Amino acid sequence: MRDYEAIFRKAESTLISVGSANLSADRIRANLDEYKRLEGKTFSDAEYYWILVYVVFYSGFRATTVSAKLNLIRRYFPDYATVASYHESKLDEILHDPEMIRNRRKVCACIENAKIFKDIVNEYGSFQSYIDSFLPMDSFENLMLLKEELEYRFKGLGRVTTYHVLTDIGLPVLKPDRVVCRVFQRLGLIDSNEQLLKTVIQGRKFAQATGHPIRYIDIVFAAYGQVRSEEFGLASGICLEHSPQCSICGLTSHCSHFVRDGVGNSAR
């Protein structure tokens, strides 16, 4: 029987301890605490559309590349009503801007999604009402039905990125991206990074064991496996893909990839 609470507490404390070499522990805790307040939050139509936009751009791209371009992306995709009226000339303008991420598939997806978004708002009155119509907080089944609906209806959303949307709009599900899947696989919680649903369910078990919102569970494990995080003071990461820092990791006693001489195996 796995002690989910003990595993999470160790990950959380290690994250703060390692990060405090570059950022005060109080600042790290304050930054982490922000993620405890997202679950159940309501959003405006503008906020919902922006989430759809940045999730599409982050998908498959290095996070640092997209983060550096967010202001420009937002300038081109300010709100769904404006973007829904874009014509071919605007598409050409975006794709010819040397400072922009000039990925036609992503740009076209965001334009098409604005039109879909507008239709939904016209039908339901707001995107929040559309989300609420699925009663996603009532059951995991309802949440998964919403996930399937969004993935089917919107362009540029795939198996993982749809979870990203759900996570960022405050619904109780973590994002089973390659970072979280890697950490969970090393902990023996999943067998493959293709097991997205199992990863999501394991995240729910951590939430149940600790009493924390799933969004908080998500950010702790995501930061634990990232290359770096200024937000949490991590200069070079902990559970890295190719060179895991096992000497500073607090989870080695739970890790199937840990070699007892203190050197981690390379990730599969």
User: Taking CA 34 as the corner, what is the angle to CA 125 and CA 155, rounded to the nearest 5 degrees?
Assistant: 45
Residue 8 has pLDDT above 80, yes or no: yes
What pLDDT, on a 0 to 100 scale, did the predictor assign at position 228?
82
Residue 138 and residue 232 in one domain: no
Region label for 125, one of left (φ > 0), alpha (ψ between -120 and 50) or beta (otherwise): left
What pLDDT, on a 0 to 100 scale, did the predictor assign at position 259?
52
d(C-alpha 83, C-alpha 245), whole Å: 44
Q: Give the rounded percent of residues in the chain with a pLDDT score beyond 90.
A: 84
Is residue 264 in a domain? no
Residue 265 has pLDDT above 70, yes or no: no
Is residue 262 in a domain? no
Residue 35 has pLDDT above 70, yes or no: yes
Residue 62 and residue 130 in one domain: yes
* Chosen domain end from 115, 148, 168: 168
Q: What is the mean predicted confidence (pLDDT) over 108-134?
A: 98
Residue 82 and residue 22 in one domain: no
What pLDDT, on a 0 to 100 scale, did the predictor assign at position 253?
92
- Tokens for 71? 């202001």
Residue 111 and residue 181 in one domain: no
Q: How many domains does the chain have?
A: 2
- How many C-beta neighbours within 10 Å does residue 252 have? 18
Q: What is the mean predicted confidence (pLDDT) over 126-145?
A: 97
* Chosen domain end from 148, 168, 188: 168
Residue 51 and residue 106 in one domain: yes
Residue 194 and residue 163 in one domain: no
- Tokens for 267? 């990730």
pLDDT tens-place string over residues 67-91? 999 999 999 999 999 999 999 999 9
Q: What is the mean predicted confidence (pLDDT) over 39-64?
A: 92
Residue 1's SS3 state is coil
- The secondary structure of 50-80 as a DSSP string is HHHHHHHHHTTS-HHHHHTTHHHHHHHS--H
What pLDDT, on a 0 to 100 scale, did the predictor assign at position 227?
82
Residue 145 class from Cβ within 10 Å (0-12 exposed, 13-18 middle, 19+ buried)?
Answer: middle
Domain CATH code at residue 119? 1.10.340.30
| DSSP assigned state of 106 | H
pLDDT tens-place string over residues 211-257? 999 999 999 999 999 888 889 999 888 999 988 999 999 999 999 87
Q: How confident is the model at residue 261 (pLDDT cuts 50, 70, 90)?
A: very low
Find the domain containing 113 and state its range. Answer: 45-168
Mean pLDDT of the chain: 93
Residue 114 and residue 144 in one domain: yes
* Chosen domain end from 168, 199, 216: 168
